[in-house]
Amino acid sequence: LAQADGALDAKMTKLASASGCFTCHSIESGKPGPNGMAPIGPAWQDVAKRYQGDKKAADALLKTVLQGSNPYGSHWKDKVSGLAMPPNAVAIKEADAKMLVKWILALK
């Protein structure tokens, strides 16, 4: 991974796996989705690249993780096969989601 802290990478990967994130997302760009289709959700490196320098990104992405996204406002159109991100407040605690979002945004 693109982080300098291997222990943090391992912790965040374990958290993401336990929370079901890898059902739709991958960390690295360019990985295909099921049956060779576009991935269900964007790769986290792509998320980090898209929101680089956006000071509101962490709060906006935390809200998306916990509450889900609008299926009519797909800003990943033609890049992913999923229509919207479902709410995940049951799958991950807010404090853990905050840590994960911060880590995702730091990916290179």
What dotted CATH number matches 6-106?
1.10.760.10
| pLDDT the model gives residue 83 | 83
- pTM comes to 0.89
Radius of gyration, CA atoms only, the chain: 13
What would the two tokens of residue 18 be? 């336990």
Kindly give the confidence (pLDDT) of every residue in the chain, 108 residues in length, as a single tens digit, with 9 standing for 90 and above. Answer: 555 578 899 999 999 999 999 999 999 998 888 888 889 999 999 999 999 999 999 999 999 999 999 888 877 888 898 889 999 999 999 999 999 999 999 998
Say how far apart CA 46 and CA 24 lie, in whole Å.
14
